[in-house]
Amino acid sequence: MRKKMLSIIAGVLCALFVTTAWASKETSPIKIGLLCPLSGVFALIGQSMKSGFILAFEQTGNIGGRKVEIIVEDTEAKVDIAVAKAKKLVSADKVHLLAGGVASSEGLAIRDFAEANQIPYICTTGTAAIEFISTKRSKWMKHPWIAANLFGGHLPYYMVKELGAKRVITMAPDYAWGHSEVQWAKASAEQGGGTVVQTILTPFPTLDFSPYLTQLKSADVLIANYAGADAPRLVKQFREYGIKMLFAGGGTFTPETVEVMGRDPIGCYAAAPWFPVLENPENVAYMKAYRARYGKESGLYAAGTYSSALVLIDVLRNVNGDVEEKERFLNAWYGLERKTVKTPCGEIGYEKVTEAGIWEVHICKIVEKGGKITYEILKTDKGLKGSDQLKIMGLLK
């Protein structure tokens, strides 16, 4: 009898423990560590990322009955600092997820940390080197942001095939993202029947582009991809030298960068997953909400991070906020192979083979209308997949 009573008591205590633990998990917040470069060369991008991410979760509220707590850390876009901040978020703040990163170098370092420590890492914008969807692909690193170099979609192909710019020069900064950009530009241009006659890689940052611009060969188009302060410097000097060829780029002509270029970008060609002129209902509502929340207009990195956050939120809802069950959370991303999430950037899906988002990219010409610099959308590439990109580059059978 005594044995039976002890067994009953043990069972009740066990049930109470499980119930208490479950209740504790249900009422505790979902903690997300957001890693952004809030100082240094990418500070403006980092601030935009932070704004977009926070707005998405503010609008969403509780998930599975749990509040969402976002803890922000400044990476300065430096590898050692990014890893140190990631360690602090995991060990001291006890976050369930890591998110953010801009420079591919810091993204790769955070990815290695996340895989080693088995904590999910969500790339929201930037971190667009080809390694993320190929040699460094990891189930622990989810990349809802557009796969690798498809940030600029098939812009090189468009310049060659549609505009007849057969002779191409590619130009980019000399680090992981830049290397990926020139590889993709070459593959995409050649697919359209063009030829890359010259490739130039420059130090990061580059304060003076004249040594490189003065050695440009004869060509039809310069396809250059830069971010931060390098972009307006390059475009300004390109105009000052009076170079007679078309100029196109993805990262070079993002909305927030074009804002500080004056009239220099008029006539250039741009491509990106988002532009302020997009008229889909989600973007119209987002632009209004962003303006009301922050008192200014959104840029690409805010809109891109907001859109990536919506994908993350969809996954979190699908697991009812249960981020402690890591395998379930990681596998929930693959449900987006069969459906899409509507965002300001258009509809976003996800593919397992590259652990990356499936996006739309808009090819535009920068024009002047009513005394304002704006974008004229020429074409939209829908459903762009990293796997298709890898096939074009000969990296996937």
Res 248 pLDDT > 90 = yes
Using pLDDT thresholds of 50, 70 and 90, give the confidence band for residue 25.
low
CB 32 within 8 A of CB 97: yes
Tally of structural domains, the chain: 2
Task: Report yes or no on 379 lying in a domain.
Answer: yes
Query: Is there a single domain that holds both residue 196 and residue 308?
Result: no
Residues in the chain: 397
Res 320 pLDDT > 90 = yes
Average pLDDT for 114-143: 93
Range of the domain at 200: 151-275+361-392
Q: Coil, strand, or helix at residue 249? A: strand
Identify the CATH number of the domain in which residue 379 sits.
3.40.50.2300
Task: Report yes or no on 397 lying in a domain.
Answer: no
Q: What angle do CA 9, 11, 14 make, to 5 degrees?
A: 110
Res 92 pLDDT > 70 = yes
| Tens-digit pLDDT profile for residues 344-384 | 999 999 999 999 999 999 999 999 999 999 999 999 999 99
Q: Which residue has the higher pLDDT, 21 or 89?
A: 89
| Distance (Å, whole) CA 145 – CA 121 | 12
Res 5 pLDDT > 70 = no
Res 275 pLDDT > 80 = yes
Query: Is there a single domain that holds both residue 224 and residue 370?
Result: yes
Average pLDDT for 259-273: 95
Average pLDDT, the chain: 92
Using pLDDT thresholds of 50, 70 and 90, give the confidence band for residue 6.
low
**What is residue 351's DSSP assignment?**
E
| Distance (Å, whole) CA 348 – CA 311 | 8
Query: Is there a single domain that holds both residue 47 and residue 139?
Result: yes
Query: Is there a single domain that holds both residue 187 and residue 67?
Result: no
CB 237 within 8 A of CB 206: no
Query: Is there a single domain that holds both residue 60 and residue 90?
Result: yes
Task: Report yes or no on 313 lying in a domain.
Answer: yes
Angle of helix 104-117 relative to helix 79-91, nearest 10 degrees, comes to 30
Helix boundaries (H) for 28-94:
43-60, 79-91
Query: Is there a single domain that holds both residue 251 and residue 160?
Result: yes
